């Protein structure tokens, strides 16, 4: 057999962003507002339990093509062997920046393990996930955000990726951040008291990243509108991360 014919990226092959764009276009034509999340090789896709396309989180790519159009097999993660131990407790240790997990088997024997968390690893994995966001989706979301907040705040957002708003009900200040959880803090005459980082992805996210399946500014808009509409629901649905955890994105 001869050598396999090489395929050209952009002609015979699609990038993640091109695939995401085409799926969005086809689903909008079917009046499906949410589009279709694109799995990323090596990242765990986690979707909202009520989302109608939730079965996608079980999808795994088996092969890909490099920038030269050469087919490459993707090594699959082997299923873990059943364990006699089950998790009974866990907590975050800020000094050593890791999660301590306590396990126990049916005979009552206990042991512990550690789960380290790395901010740089979060950043690098987020960059991998960013490949699925079509740039025009982010541009359209920014245009929408510009109609929801004052012009000076939108300019700050374009320059820094952040803007703040004080809740009229609770007087809590929310720092909305592109590609990171929203920080909630309370300000008074003495200073600021940080409450937590609120992490919420309306449709889903890529595990151990700050990336949602929606483009970053779409998620900022979701946080902003939920805070304005139902602050209690925003807090109830969001994961509340202490600021010393890497997941908080500080």
pLDDT of residue 16: 77
Is the model's pLDDT at 234 over the cut of 60? yes
Residue with tokens 């602050």: 231
In this prediction, what percent of the chain has a pLDDT beyond 70?
89
Q: Taking the domains of the chain in order of start, what are their residue ranges?
A: 16-73, 86-116, 119-248
pLDDT of residue 4: 55
Average pLDDT over residues 110-137: 85
Is the model's pLDDT at 238 over the cut of 80? yes
pLDDT of residue 6: 63
Distance CA 163, CA 37 (A): 27
E strand or H helix at 27, and its extent? helix 16-29
Please state at what angle helix 16-29 crosses helix 135-146, rounded to 10 degrees. 60
Q: Token pair of 205, please?
A: 């996210």
Q: What is the pLDDT of residues 56-67, one digit of tens each?
A: 888 887 777 767
Confidence grade of residue 235 (pLDDT, cut at 50, 70, 90):
very high
Computed over every residue of the chain, the mean pLDDT equals: 84
Residues 6+ apart with CB under 8 A from 174: 164, 165, 166, 167, 182, 183, 184, 198, 223, 224, 227
Q: What is the pLDDT of residues 50-97, one digit of tens each?
A: 888 888 888 887 777 767 667 777 777 766 677 777 888 887 887 877
Q: Which residue has the higher pLDDT, 79 or 232?
A: 232
pLDDT of residue 2: 44
pLDDT of residue 36: 78
Distance CA 182, CA 174 (A): 7
Dihedral angle computed from the Cα positions of residues 116, 178, 170 and 198, in that order, rounded to the nearest 10 degrees: -20
Distance CA 16, CA 21 (A): 9
């Amino acid at each position: 057999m001869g050598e396999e014919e090489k395929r050209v990226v952009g002609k015979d092959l699609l990038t993640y962003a091109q695939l995401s764009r085409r799926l969005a276009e086809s689903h909008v034509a079917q009046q499906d507002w949410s589009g279709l999340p694109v799995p990323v090789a090596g990242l765990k896709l986690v979707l909202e339990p009520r989302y109608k396309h939730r079965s996608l989180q079980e999808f795994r790519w088996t092969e890909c093509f490099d920038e030269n159009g050469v087919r490459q097999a993707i090594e699959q993660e082997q299923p873990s062997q059943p364990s006699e131990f089950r998790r009974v407790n866990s907590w975050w240790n800020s000094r050593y920046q890791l999660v301590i997990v306590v396990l126990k088997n049916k005979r009552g024997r206990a042991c512990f393990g550690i789960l380290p968390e790395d901010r740089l690893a979060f950043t690098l994995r987020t960059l991998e996930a960013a490949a699925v966001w079509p740039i025009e989706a982010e541009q359209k979301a920014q245009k929408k955000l510009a109609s929801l907040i004052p012009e000076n705040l939108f300019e700050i957002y374009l320059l820094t990726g952040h803007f703040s708003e004080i809740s009229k009900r609770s007087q809590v200040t929310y720092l909305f951040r592109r590609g990171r959880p929203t920080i909630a803090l309370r300000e008074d005459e003495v200073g600021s008291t940080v409450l937590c980082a609120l992490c919420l992805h309306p449709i889903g996210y890529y595990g151990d990243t700050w990336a949602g399946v929606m483009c970053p500014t779409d998620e900022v808009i979701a946080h902003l509108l939920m805070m304005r509409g139902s602050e209690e629901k925003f807090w109830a649905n969001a994961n509340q991360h202490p600021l010393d955890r890497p997941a908080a994105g500080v």
